[in-house]
Amino acid sequence: MKTKILTLLAASCLAFLSACSDDSEGSKSLADKCGKLSDECLIGTWKLKAIVQKSNPDVVIADYNADQGGTMEFTKDGLYHYVRSTKANACPGSLGGGIDDKGTWKVTDNTSLEFYENKQGDCIPFGTHFNTTPTIEVVGESVNLYLNKVIFQEDGMDGMYAIDDQTEVFTRSE
């Protein structure tokens, strides 16, 4: 009798657990989410990896390691928050460290990404609007986001090469 009850209990638990392992939208990999530019791909925290030449991404203008690059957070409610590392180039006249910019973002037609600075940022003036056509690159478990322009580190790049031929590269992994 005990064996029958334990067998029935084990079968019930197995059925319950298999019902809970539904392969839903939430279980999509980051690579699957980032097959194209979308809200689903962007929502989360990205790290500034580098500034590279647009015409030749192998030419690195500025390389940021884990504690030098800033972080960009895209939220579900359409807000972004960019925070520079204390070791990153500070904006002129700033006190340095913890320098941040906040605003709203939106993706249009899976090709265009818009940023609107809706507070007086430490580096970007209130009301500034940026529109860019970024490129997404999936590399194994990581995704690189090439903004195809320099927006958030521009003050630190003044006088370095031709800024029109530069792009910020953010990276994210699961």
pLDDT tens readout for residues 72-117: 999 999 999 988 775 445 565 544 444 778 899 999 999 999 999 8
Domains and CATH numbers, the chain: 29-173 (2.40.128.280)
Give the burial class of 48: count Cβ atoms within 10 A of its Cβ; 0-12 exposed, 13-18 middle, 19 or more buried. Answer: buried
Alpha helices in 23-170 (DSSP H): 30-33, 39-42, 154-157
pTM of model > 0.85: no
Give the burial class of 2: count Cβ atoms within 10 A of its Cβ; 0-12 exposed, 13-18 middle, 19 or more buried. Answer: exposed
Q: Which two tokens stand for residue 95?
A: 């006190």
pLDDT tens readout for residues 126-162: 788 889 999 999 998 899 999 998 888 776 555 555 6
